[in-house]
Amino acid sequence: MENQRLQEALHSLKNTKVRMTPQRHAILEFLFSARTHPTADEIYKALEGKFPNMSVATVYNNLRVFKEVGLVRELTYGDSSSRFDSNTSDHYHVICDECGKIVDFHYPGLDEVETLAEHVTGFNVFNHRMEIYGTCTDCQNIKKH
């Protein structure tokens, strides 16, 4: 499943001007297999052993390229710790308050909220973001011990 999504991503990159490099391939592969919504720093740490000459800036630049061609989504949290999501279909996120883990959560899109917001405020609404916070099962287990 993940491999199929990676193949599709690689295929769609072929139709852009984005040149494939070993680093780029490794970053994409990591994003599509990890599914943990990693930060650029986490990707860098996971791959620095394989690519000693790679810098965090390189990772950032590649992520920006992937974002521009629509392969990844950037989840910003008002600080420098943007997270990157290789799942670009509509879904919500459950976030652990203890460790910051982000898990995909599928629920029908709350389109009515957008329509209502548009009616009430007169805004031209184009998107919404809902995040659910709690304590993940790993962190619950740590607390119990």
Known binding residues for Fe cation are 128
| Interaction of residue 136 with Zn ion, rule CB under 5 A | yes
Binding residues for Zn(2+): 96, 99, 136, 139
Question: Of the candidates 30, 31, 72, 85, which one interacts with Zn ion according to CB under 5 A?
Answer: 85
Is residue 63 at the binding interface for Zn ion, with CB under 5 A as the rule? no
Residue 139 interacts with Zn ion (CB under 5 A): yes or no: yes
Minimum distance from residue 36 beta carbon to Zn ion (Å) = 9
Is 104 among the residues that bind Zn ion (CB under 5 A)? yes
68 is a site residue for Zn ion (CB under 5 A): no
3-state SS, one letter per residue, for the chain: CHHHHHHHHHHHHHCCCCCCCHHHHHHHHHHHHHCCCCEHHHHHHHHCCCCCCCCHHHHHHHHHHHHHCCCCEEECCCCCCCEEECCCCCCEEEEECCCCCEEEECCCCCHHHHHHHHHHHCCCCCCCCCEEEECCHHHHHHHHC
